[in-house]
Structures are given as C-alpha cells and as structure tokens.
Chain A
Amino acid sequence: MLDIAHLHKQFGSVTALDDVTFSVAPGQIMGLIGQNGAGKSTTFHSILNFLHYDGQISWQNQPITETVFNEIGYLPEERSLMPKLTVEQQIVYLAELKNRPAKEIRPKIDDWLKRFAVKGNRKDKIKSLSKGNQQKVQLICTLIHEPKLIILDEPFSGLDPVNADLLKQAILDAKAAGAAIIFSSHDMENVASLCDSLVMLKNGQVVLSGTVEAVRAQFGKTELFVTTDQTQAQLAQLPHVTDVHQLHQRQYLLHLDTPDAGPEVFEALTHGQYIEEFRQQPPTLDEIFRLKAGEPNA
C-alpha cells in the first residue's frame, strides 16, 4: 500500500503541495488529475524522494529508500533514454539498477518488444528508433522488472489509439499481477476506463478524491440522456430542465436543476408510454474536471 499523508511542499513563496493525502492499495489503479502546474509531477517527485517535503510517504509501511526503489517502476513525463546504447543494453542496464540480474531480463526482451509491437530489434541503437518506438522501449524499461509500485507521469501523451490500447492492456496486466499503480493524465476517458479511484489536485490541494463512481455521484445525477421524437424546444419546456443539447438526430442531453427531478421529468416526457432511452447520469469526469478547474480557489 502506498500511503501519502499531509504532504506539503513549498518552493520559495509558492506552495506546490498543500496537505495532500491519499493511498493506493496493491491491485488498484489511481488516476492523478489536475491542470498543468497543479502539483502532479511534484507529488511523484516527492514519492521518489527527489525532493525535500513535509508529511509522510510510505510503501508497505516503510519509508521509501533505495531498497523500495527496486520495486518501483517510474515513467517520467518527458521521455528520455541513452541514445548510444542498444535497446538490449538500455533495458538490461536500467533493470540491473533495479537489482534484476541481466540473465533474468535478457530472455524476456523479445517478448516485450513483441507485446508493444516495437519496430526494431534488440541490437538496434536507441537513437536509430523512431520517437514512438523509443517511447515504447521506455515503457518496457518501466515495466520489465515487474514493479510492485508503478508511477506513470502522462503515460498516454503522444501515443496513437492503437499504442494507447497496448499500454492500457499492460497497465491492466500489471494490476492483475497485484501492482499498485498511480498515473497522471489529462485524458479523462482513460482515467474513467482504467482507474479504481482518482485524486484531483488544484493549486497543490486535493479538490476531489475517491472511487470514480463516488466522485461522479458527489455531483448528483443531473444529466439526462433521452432518445425521443420530441423536438429540442419541446424538451426545453419540461420541468427542472435547465438546458438541452442535441447529441444525435433523436438523442438529447438534458441538464436538470436537481437530481431528484428524474421521476417528474419522466412522467412529463412519457405520460406512461414507451421511451427508447431515458438514462439519468452524474456528470462525466471530463465535465467534473472542467467544473472543478473553473471554480475559484478554496
């Protein structure tokens, strides 16, 4: 279990992190979201001991030391490898620094290259690979030593949908193997589809925290998806409806002024007749993100 309690970090007069508390259990994926400069990378750097900080950070109830480093897989925000090494040398070198013997890692390299569909072979120099393939090699370096705590800073940035799916699968495999995973992302769809829980930072403070469902539920089921023959103007006349967006030809998104208005709107819309779609939902993560980011500071 990764436990972070009352984490505080000050850079001169700037408060980068303020009383940040959360935990990630083995076999769980946590998404760390927030705008640029919200404190996501600073949180990661604190976990990895790159910084002085106030507060407590522990892994399996132990402070994070060099021994714990062996169990960590870290992917930094920008990618960088050692261009003069071959793919094999790079992977083996970083794995050895994680205390894994070369003879254990070498036989696995071909499988991993195949798994991530890397174009190139193990004897190619890193600098000869395309940017996308270098990024995949870096992911392999992060995961090949089977870390128990995986920290991924913007892992999806720069990946096309096919490669993003490969990464998603690798993250889910690591979760199935019992790793505690924490990743930051600006893509709320990835967060919603992968994460068990999320933490949103704003100006160094936690503004949202909990399971994805719980966070969405906090905002109430104020979104209503309906598929009907009625017009947008007719729908706007319904009680408690604040606005109407047409999504497809007959599909609309209605915003309600209160989550409790569902039964009343249902009655007014259907008069007890069949309706193709009537789905009352909390806002999406993307909407919550925009909403929270736009709020004035606490």
Chain B
Amino acid sequence: MHKLWIVTRETYTRQVKSWSFLMLVLMPFIMIGLSLGIGYISYSANSGSDTKIAIISDEPALRQQLIAQNKDDIQKNVTTVKQAKAKLAKDDLSGYVVLSVKQQQIQATFHGKSAMNSGLKAKITAYLTQAQSQANLATAQLSPAQIAALQKQPVFKEKLQHDQGEAKLAKTVSFWILVFMVYMILITYASITAQEIASEKGTKIMEIIFSSTSAAKYFVGKILGVLLVILTQVAVYALGGWGGYLYAQRIHGVSEFLADNQTLVNDVLHNLLSVNLIFLLLGVVIYTVLSAFSGALVAKAEDASKAAQPATMLTMVAFFATFPFQNNADQLLPKILSYVPFFSSYFMPIRIINEQASPIEITISLLILVITILLAMFYIGRIYEGLMLQTDDSSFWKRMKRGLAYSKK
C-alpha cells in the first residue's frame, strides 16, 4: 500500500507541476478573463463617449430633484446656458435641457448635437410627468378623497404556467454539458495517460522500479495518480464555476437571467450532481485504464504519441453515437449500450436525464462498469511487467500476445 502511494504521489506531482497541466487548467479562465476584459474595455470605450448632459433652470427645487435622481447622467456644476453652450462646443457635454415653468406647465427643451439618449429621455420624461401631475393636483385644490380617487393605478400581474418546455430544455442542456464534459476530459487525459505510460516503455528505469515494487502496484499507482490529476482539474473548474456563478449573480443583466431561469439552472445542476456524476467518474476511470493499457502496448517509448489512439477513437465513437438518441433514449440500442462498459458512461446518464431508467437498471449498469474496471485493472496489473519490459518491433497483436503470455501466476 505504501509503495502504491509513493507511485501515485510521484505521478501526480510530476503531472501537476508541469507547464502543460497549468496551461490546461488555466486556459478556460484565461479565455473567459480575456473576453470579459475585451468586453469591459469596449464597454468603457463606448461609455466614455457617452458624455453627460446639463440641466439649466430657474426652478431650483425641480432641478435639484431631477439631478438627485440621475446623478450619473447629469453634470450638476453647469448652471447657465452660456456655460452649457461652451461645454457642448467642446464635446464635454452631449447636450443640455432648459427647464422652466410657465403658467403651471413644465417646459423642457433639449439642446444637443444628436438625439438625446433614449434611456435618459425616458427617465427625465417620467420625472417631469410626475412633477407635472403633482403640480396639477396642487392647482386643482382637490379634497383628499378626490386626490385618492385620482391616484388609483391599474393592477398588472404575471401568472406564468411552468410547462413541459422548461423541463425538456433542462434535459437537453444537462445532456450536452454532461456528454461534452466526459468527452473533453477523456480526449485530454487519454493521451496524457497513454504518453505517461508509453514514455517509460522498454526503459531500464522500469527494470529498477520492478526490482523495487510489483508491477501491479506500480500500474494501479499510475492510474490513481492520473485520476487524482483529473480530479484536481475538475475541482478547480468546479470551484471556478461556483465562484463565477456567485459573481455572475451580482452582474447587472446576468443576475436577472439567472433569477428568471432559476428552475432551469436548478434542474441542470440536479441532473449533473446526481448518479450521473458517478457514471462520469467511472467512465473516466475505465478509459484511463484503457489508455494506460494501450500506452503499454506501443513498440517503444518513441511511439508514445500514437498510444492514445485506441482510447480516443473509442470515446469518439461513443460520443457521436449519443447524438441521434438525445431525445429518444428509450430505443433498443441506447438501452443496450447503457449496460456496455465504455458506452454506459454516455448512455446511462442520457436515460437517467430522460427519466427512462429504473433504479435497478442503473444499479446493474453501475455494477457491470465497476466489475469490468476491477477485472481490467487486475488483469493488466498481472501482465504489465511483461508489457513494459519487452521492446521488440513486432506487430501490435504479436506484442499483445507476448504480453499476455508473460502473465506469471
């Protein structure tokens, strides 16, 4: 157990400390950071040209209240038309509004080089409408009852019915997230694992290591090391995603979107953080074992780049095979494939998301997967020494046959 841990630790630290791993983990954050940065720069560049307006008025109360409500859009230190004209000429102002009251009627005139910003216009108009109606009420000298009657507002309510559409959307979103997650992790780590193993093939360091610990322990240690690396990456993404989610809730616009689609977000999270996650992780394990095995089957260390092919091909086949069935997972083929190791990690989650798999079916599929992984690891562990120490240039099948014949007990 002790030596297994030493191999695991060595594999893990060497991978995690490598530049390639750091880039792999940080790349999505760098990309998101870059696109946010570019967005922010272009936003601030745009908002920079969006200069403020001035309010010129002989009615201090009216002016002050308007300024108080729109601090960000109004330059309050400009108080005369002369000042405003000068600033407008220098493009320090996008315009100015002259506000006056004549015979209890508020009059506002905008002077500018281009039309007033529509958002600001709406806000100012709303404010002026309110101010005018207050002035009207004062002029009319109405009784409190009349005022109350006039202030009645219509009631508008929204009662939305949650239809099947949203649940279906949640399923589709979960499907794509899950399938892509499995696929991306496998494509990345199949080659990392295969190369890690293949680069040691036939080297004398393997003789030294096998004169220190059993090949089976070494093999399992390597697999565990790679799995820890994968878990580290997933954990970094999960933490980053969670942090991003919390941050997004504070961003204007995104928070409304999240609030409006809370059910969808919850459904997707529920679909991901369920037994599907176990299928995902076990899928990663079995493909990692396959990659390690094919890494051990290359002719020599120099062929390491080819080593990942069997695992990547198989995962691509399984990945693309899911496409036709994302909405009709109750057909016979996906049903069968949801029990077949290497495929079940894609197909069973689809059936689970579509609520078409019973707990018994899920358990059987999981059991088949776990037993296959254990048998494969046990078997490869036994022939691993033979595979790693032979360095002949014979064909793939010959090497495999020799490796299998190497089994010692």
Contact = CB atoms under 8 A, between A and B. Distances in A.
B208 A72 contact: no
B204 A78 contact: yes
Interface stretch (A95-103, A191-199, A216-224, A253-261): A95-103
B205 A80 contact: yes
A76 interface: yes
Contacts of B6: 93, 96-97
A271 interface: no
Contact of A77 (B10, B14, B204, B385): B204
B21 interface: no
Contacts of B213: 66, 69, 97
B100 interface: no
Contacts, number: 57
B3 interface: yes
Contacts of B217: 66
Given A52-B408, A99-B3, A94 B212 contact: yes
Interface in A88-134: 93-94, 96-99
Nearest to B301: A80
Contact of A82 (B205, B389, B408): B205
B210 A141 contact: no
B73 interface: no
- How many interface residues does chain A have, given as a range? 20 to 34
A79 B204 CA distance: 6
Nearest to B14: A84
A74 interface: yes
B317 interface: no
Interface in A43-90: 45, 48-50, 52, 66, 69-70, 72, 74, 76-82, 84-85
B122 interface: no
Interface string B6-38: 110010001000000000000000000000000
A99 B3 CA distance: 7
A74 B217 CA distance: 19
A120 B220 CA distance: 34
9 contacts: A45-B207, A48-B211, A49-B408, A77-B204, A80-B204, A97-B6, A97-B213, A141-B208, A151-B211
Interface of A: 45, 48-50, 52, 66, 69-70, 72, 74, 76-82, 84-85, 93-94, 96-99, 141-142, 151
